Amino acid sequence: MNSRRTVVLVALMLAVSLILAPAGNAAAKKIKVAFALLWTIDDMGWTTAAYNGIEYLKEQMGDQVEVSYTEKVLAADAERVIRDYARKGYDIIFGTTFEHMDPMLMVAKDFPKTVFEHCSGYKTAPNMGNYFARMYQGEFLSGYLAGLMGFKNVGTVATNPIPEPIRGINAFTIGLIKGLKEAGHKFDPNNVNTVVWLKAWRDPINETTLAETLISRKHDLIRQMADTPDSSLAACAKGVPAIGYGADAAKYGAKCVLVSPIWNWGPYFVEVVKQVQAGTWKPTPYWGGFDKNNIALTDFNASVPEAVRQKVLAQKKLLVEGTDNIFVGPIYDQKGKLMIPEGKKATDKELLTMRWLIKGVSGKIPD
């Protein structure tokens, strides 16, 4: 009897420990997070911003996370890198560029217990969410700042003619016109912002040539949109002010930059890790702006007047509070066609598929 009782007891203890063990482990378990990065962490733009987010995540979560990343994960290599991380048992894998979308979706199907997060795409799966930041809000604010300061002949060195930059050009121009109107400057309503296309995300040589072309055409402000700061640098060298983009251009020597709207991914990375820890993570399309602290403005250049700063910060406060009325009609396209009717606000879907330039922009979208 005694021995049987012992056996039962041992069995019970075993069962209890088996039930408890995973739970106990989970509480102490580190969340393993991996990032597939587009380029090198010091690319001065997109990937530097992602890396700053990774640093923020490590800072905030400390021992609770174990973070790895791979640089230069181009489309052809993406599936291998992502699958590799999944196999090694990473809990969350971030794909940080558009081209990672389809490869990630394929891997996500094979690893249903792993959480996948993809940046800037539109596809989701039961274990794959997508996220992006409303950079256009920061671009609107920089346009507003430029308008208040009276720049009415801006030259923009744009990147690739897809919805994200197009939306940004439009938001900037909306802000620019708003600023010009509020400050009482005279301007040509059809032509305040000339856009030229680089057809690349980074191309220092052509950025320089394009910026110099715009400056020689007497544009009074150069707007950088590429990852590399060379259009801003070229403007500074010629004594023309500039607006940076993505990361702080002033940090890379472009001292004439009035302000740079920058990506701020850290808070979102932390949020996802915390949700996974708590078991509440769900695949959602996520698009945060100033309200979620996913976008930021750098410090203003010393030449920006105090009154202008106050006005820009007041607009920023509205955005932080969640009031985003940037794309509220009436908004016309370049030919004067009403695209967003009076009082109506463009939906996220309309914003994400935007392929037209607003009235006030000069230059066209290349085929």
Partner 1 sequence: MDDLIFILAITLKSSIPVLLASLGEIITERSGILNLGVEGMMLVGALAGFVVGQQSGSLLLGFGGAMAAGMLLALVHAFFCIHLRASQVISGLAVTILATGLSSFLGRPFIGRVGIHLGSLPVGPLAEVPLVGPVLAQQNWLCLAALALVPLTAWALAGSWPGLSIRAVGEDPEAADAAGVPVAPIRYACTLFGGLLAGLGGAYLSLVYTPGWKEGMTGGQGWIAIAMVIFATWRPGRALLGALLFGGLTALQFYFQATGAELVPAWILRLLPYLLTVGILFLVTVLKRTRFGAAPAALGQPFFRG
List of residues contacting partner 1 (CB under 8 A)? 40, 42-44, 155, 194, 196-197, 202-210, 212-214, 216-217, 228, 230, 233-234, 237, 251-253, 362-364, 366
> Could you tell me the smallest distance in angstroms from the CB atom of residue 267 to partner 1?
24
Q: What would you report as the CA-atom Rg of the chain, rounded to the nearest whole angstrom?
A: 24
User: What DSSP state is assigned to residue 89?
Assistant: T
Query: Closer to partner 1 at the Cβ: 60 or 213?
Result: 213
Q: How far is the CB of 361 from partner 1 (least distance, A)?
A: 11
Least spacing, CB of residue 78 vs partner 1, in Å: 20
Q: Helix or strand or coil: residue 119?
A: strand
User: For residue 319, which amino acid is it?
Assistant: L
Q: Least distance to partner 1 from the beta carbon of 139, Å?
A: 20
Q: Which residues are CB-contacts of 337 (< 8 A; sequence separation ≥ 6)?
A: none
Contact between residue 362 and residue 174 where contact means Cβ atoms under 8 Å apart? no
Residue whose CB is less far from partner 1, 110 or 188: 188
Q: Please state the closest distance from residue 252 (CB atom) to partner 1, in A.
A: 5
**Nearest residue (CB) to partner 1, 69 versus 197:** 197
Helix, strand, coil content of the chain in percent (nearest 5): 45, 20, 35
At 155, which helix (H) or strand (E)? strand 154-158
Q: Which is nearer to partner 1, 197 or 290 (CB)?
A: 197
Q: Which is nearer to partner 1, 342 or 367 (CB)?
A: 367
CB of 55 or CB of 212, closer to partner 1: 212
215-249 residues labelled b (16+ CB within 10 A) or e (exposed): beeebbbbbbbbbbbbbbbbbbeeebbbbbbbbbb
Q: Which is nearer to partner 1, 67 or 250 (CB)?
A: 250
- Give the whole-angstrom CA distance, residue 114 versus residue 89: 8
Question: Considering the complex, what minimum distance in angstroms separates the CB of residue 152 from partner 1?
Answer: 16
By the 8 A CB rule, do 210 and 196 touch? yes
Place of tokens 């990852």: 227
- C-beta of 264: minimal distance to partner 1 in Å? 19
For 236, the enclosing helix (H) or strand (E) is helix 230-237
